[in-house]
Amino acid sequence: MLDDRDRRILDMLQRDAGISVTDLAERVALSVSACSRRIQRLEESGHILRRIIVLDREKMGVPTTVFALVKTAHHSDEWTESFRRIIGDIPEIVEAHRLTGNHDYILKIVLPRVEHYDVIYKQIVRKLELFDVSASISMEELKHGLGIPVGYVR
């Protein structure tokens, strides 16, 4: 069971994993050693999966975002695993979700420019049969966040 301090620690760490334990401890009113033990417990319990660094997409040369909606006529476990493996090998595909409704999957793809989408598209369709793929180009990112709400955890 997590308390309010644990939730505050999780919220602050997901905003800035590079925050020093000293600063974090001060902000949640704990000693450094108590704060460090809590972080270790949160890691061991699986609440903290890993700590990452978020790169600037402009500076990394991939400012363009394309969302590809995929329909397939295949739904076997083998096909799904092949699809998972193929998209997993393409670093430009940064997210993929299986959907309900009219489309089976949505892929979030980051690219140097929109024309590069065709390269990614061909990497997939050369290896796997798809029924339909439609892409939409993101014109503007209105909200970006890697953090999730921490108020629901018990």
Q: Tell me, yes or no, whether 79 and 40 share the same domain.
A: no
For 28-82, the pLDDT digits (tens) are: 999 999 999 999 999 999 999 999 889 999 999 999 999 999 999 999 999 999 9
Q: What would the DSSP string read from start to end of 57-100?
A: TTTTT--EEEEEEEE-S---HHHHHHHHHHHHT-TTEEEEEE-S
pTM of the model as a whole = 0.89
Both 78 and 132 in one domain: the answer is yes
| Domain encompassing residue 79 | 64-137
If asked whether residues 69 and 133 sit together in one domain, one would say yes
Q: Do 20 and 74 belong to one domain?
A: no
Number of domain units in the chain? 2
- Is residue 40 located within the same domain as residue 98? no
Number of H helices, E strands in the chain: 5, 4
pLDDT one-digit tens code per residue, 121-140: 999 999 999 999 999 999 99
Q: Is 91 a member of any domain?
A: yes
Does residue 13 sit within a domain?
yes
